[in-house]
Structure 1
Amino acid sequence: MRIVVMGAGGVGGYFGAHLARAGHEVVFVARGAHLEAIRRNGFRLEGARGDIVLPSVGATDNLATLDSPVDVVLFAVKLYDTEAAGVAIRPVVGPRTMVINLQNGVDGPDRLATVIGTEAVLGGAAYVSALIAEPGVVRYTSEMSKVVFGELDGTVSDRALAFRDSCRSAGFEAEVSSDIRAALWDKFVLLATNAGLTTLLRKPAGEVYTDPEIMALAQELMKEVVAVAAAAGIRTSADIIERSIALSKSFPPGMYASMYHDLARGRRIEVASLSGLVARRGAELGVPVPHHTSIWCALKPYVDGD
C-alpha cells in the first residue's frame, strides 16, 4: 500500500514505522528539524519491545510533490491543526483513498470531513504512548500498541478490513469498529481525564493514580464524560469506567499525557478539544460537569502556548 503519515509525531511515527518496515511505501509528513533529520538520517523508533530503524524513508512537507493519490492517509496532527492539515492532504486524496483520523478527542473526524468530504474519512482511536525524543527519533513508552478504526456510517467496509490485515501483518493490533463514534467516546473517557489531570498537576501517572483522593477525582471526571456522551446519544460501554480505571493503573509510572509535554515546552495545547469540549457539550446539553470545567478554566490561559 501507498501510505502517507500526516503528522510524524508519536502516534504517526509509531504506526508509520511499523508499516514501512513491513514493506509498505510510507511517506512521513513533518516539518522543521524533525523533517531535516528524517531526510538526512532516516527514521528511528525506539522502545522496550525493540527498535525499528529506517535508514531511508520518504519524508516531505509538501504533498503536492507526490504524483498521484495514495491508498491510506494516517491523519495524526494536533487537533488545532485539523483544518490546515486537511487542506494540505488534498493532493493525495482520491476517490479510493482512506483517511484514518487518529487524533485525540472525538470531534476530529467531523472537522476533517468538512475539508475533504465525509466519504474519505474514517474515525480512529490509537492506543499507544509515544513522543518525539529528538529530531528523527520517536520513542514509545508503554506496552499498548493498538488501533481501532471504522467508517463513520457504521458499515464494515472491504477497504477497512484490508487495512486492518495490513496493520496486523505489520506487528500491531488492529480492529474495525461498526460504531466508531462510540469507540472514540470510550477512549475519550480516560483520554480527557488523564490529559487534564497529569497536565494540571504536572505529575506523572505513577503519582496521580496511586493517590486515593486523586483517583476519586479521576473517577468523577470519567463519570462526567460518560454523562455527556449519554446526553448526546452515544452509548459508551457499560464497563468503560472500570476498564478506564484499570488501564490508568497500568500506565508506566513516569508516563505523562502528551498535552503535558506540550505545556512544559511552551507549545499550544489541545485542552479546548478535551476538557474544554466536555465543558461546552455539558453546558449545551444541560449536564453538570464541574470538574472538567475547572480543568478547562485552569488550563485555558495556556491554549496558545507561552
Structure 2
Amino acid sequence: MRYIIIGAGAVGATIGGRLAETGREVVLVARGPHAEALRAHGLRLTTADGERVHRLPVATHPADLGALRPDDVLLLTVKTQDAVAALDAWGAAEVTGGGTAAQRLPLLCAQNGVESERLALRRFARVYGVCLWLPATFLEPGVVSALCTPLTGILHLGRAAGGSDERIRAIAADLGKAGFEAPVVEDVMRWKYAKLLGNLGNAIQATTGPEPDPAKAALLLRAIREAKAAFAAAGIDYVSETDQSAARDGKVDQPPGVRGGSSWQSLARGTGSVEADYLNGEITLLGRLHGVPTPVNDVLRHAANIFARESLPPGAMSITDLTALADEAEGRG
C-alpha cells in the first residue's frame, strides 16, 4: 500500500514520517512554504527516538501524481474547515484501471471532531474514522515534533458507518509497526465523540494560552456538561473516561513543558481559521437541534473565530474575561 497524507502538518507529517521509517511508501500533500521546505530539505521529524530527515515525494494536487494506484490509501489530516476542498479534489482523481478515488480508494479521516466523516461519506464509498491521541507540534515549514513515549500516538480505527474490515486491519498493522498503537474497533465514532469532549477546551487554550489554570479547567467543565446534555438529548453514545484512560495511560506520556494544541498552533501560524465551528460548534448544533442550551460552547466558538479572523495572537485574552462572557451568555438564557 502507498499512503497519501492529505495535509502533512503536525499530525499528518508525524504519521507519514513514522510509516516511511518502516519502509512504507508515503506521499506528503502540502502547500505553500511548507511544501517548498519539504521538497527542498525533506521532512525533519523529531520523536522520542531522536531527529530524522525523510526525503519523501511531495504533492500539492492529485495531478502531481498522475493516475492514482488501486493500492493507495488516502489519509485526510487537513483541518475540518479545509476538508470539503480536499475531498472534492482528491475524490475526483482517476485511479489506474478505471473509476475515481471516491469510488475505489479507502479514505481515513484523522481529524478532531465528527464532521469530516459525514462530509466524506457524501462523496467517498469507503470511509474510515480515526480517533487521534497524537500530540504533535508544527515548529516551522518542514519541521515537526511528536515527543510522546513509549508510543508516538494511539489511533483507534474503524469504518465510519460502524464495523471493521480486512483493509482497515491491514492499515492498523502498518501503523502498529510504525510506533503507534492502532486498535481496530467496531464503534470508532463513539471514541471520536468522547475525544470531542476534551477538544472543547481547544478554544480556551487558543484564546487564553496553554498554561494550566483552575479557572480554565472550570470553564472547560461547563462546556463539557453542556456537551453531555446535548449528547443525551440526541441519543449519542460515547466511550467512558475510564475506558479512555485504560486505552492510553502510560502509553503516550509527554515530556515536561507547556505546549499549545492544534487551535493554538493555528493561531500562532496565522492560518486565518480554527476548528471551533466543528468542535464547540458541533455542540451548539446539537443543542439547537434538540433543545439544549449551549451558551458556553457558543461563546468559545465565537471567541476562537474572532481570534482567527482578526489575526490576534494566541493567549491574548484573560480567562477572567472569557469566563465573564460565558457568564453573560448563560445569564441571557
Q: TM (normalized to structure 1)?
A: 0.88
Indicate if the aligned counterparts of 1:198 and 1:260 stay in contact, CA closer than 8 A: yes
Q: Which moved more, 1:71-80 or 1:226-235?
A: 226-235
Alpha-carbon distance, 1:239 to partner: 3.2
Whole-Å separation in 2 of the counterparts to 1:257 and 1:225: 20
List, as ranges, runs of 4+ consecutive aligned residues in structure 1 with deviation greater than 4 Å. 240-244
* Compared CA separation, residues 94 and 279, structure 1 to 2 (3 A): closer
CA distance in structure 1 between the partners assigned to 2:281 and 2:24 by the alignment: 38
Where do 1:1-306 residues align within 5 Å?
A: 1-54=1-54, 56-66=55-65, 67-69=67-69, 70-90=71-91, 91=93, 93=101, 95-114=103-122, 116-117=123-124, 119-143=125-149, 145-193=153-201, 195-201=202-208, 203-204=209-210, 207-208=211-212, 211-239=213-241, 243=245, 252-267=256-271, 268-306=273-311
Q: Which amino acid aligns with 1:299?
A: A
CA deviation digits over 1:140-177, x for unaligned, max 9? 24445111121122122011111111110122110112
Residue 52 of structure 1: CA displacement? 3.0
- Based on CA coordinates, which of the two structures has the bigger radius of gyration? 2
- Structure 2 CA distance for partners of 1:49 and 1:227, relative to 1, 3 Å: farther
1:161-195: CA deviation from partner (whole Å, max 9, x where unpaired): 111111101221101121111111011110122x0
Once residues 274 and 229 of structure 2 are traced to their aligned partners in structure 1, the CA distance between those partners, rounded to angstroms, is 25
CA distance in 2, matches of 1:226, 1:68: 42
State the shift of 1:28 in Å. 0.4
Could you list the runs of 5+ residues in structure 1 that have no partner in the other structure?
Answer: none
Amino acid at match of 1:32: G
CA RMSD of aligned residues (A): 2.4
- Structure 1 stretch displaced more, 150-159 or 12-21: 150-159
Structure 1 distance, partners of 2:220, 2:265, is: 20
**Aligned sequence identity (%):** 32
Q: Could you tell me which residue of structure 1 aligns to residue 323 of structure 2?
A: none
Cα–Cα, structure 1 residues 27 and 110, in superposed 2: closer, same or farther, change >3 Å? same
Which deviations, in whole Å up to 9, do the C-alpha atoms of 1:211-267 show, x marking residues without a partner?
3343233222222222222222221123369959x98xx765412121112223432
Paired AA for residue 188 in structure 2? I
Q: Which moved more, 1:144-153 or 1:77-86?
A: 144-153
8 A contact 2:6–2:76 mirrored in 1: yes
Give the count of matched residue pairs.
294
- Once the two structures are TM-superposed, the CA of residue 281 in structure 1 deviates from its matched residue by 1.7
TM-score by length of 2: 0.81
Q: 1:65 to 1:200 in 2, by over 3 A?
A: closer
Q: Following the alignment from structure 1 to structure 2, what is the Cα–Cα distance between the partners of residues 139 and 239?
A: 27
Structure 1 residue 94, shift from structure 2 partner: 6.2
SS of 1:175's equivalent in the other structure is coil
Does the residue aligned with 2:78 lie in a helix, a strand or coil? coil
Mapped contact 1:199–1:259 kept (Cα < 8 A): yes
Counterpart of 2:19, as a letter, is L
Gaps of 5+ in 2: 96-100, 312-333
Distance 1:94 1:215, change over 3 A: closer
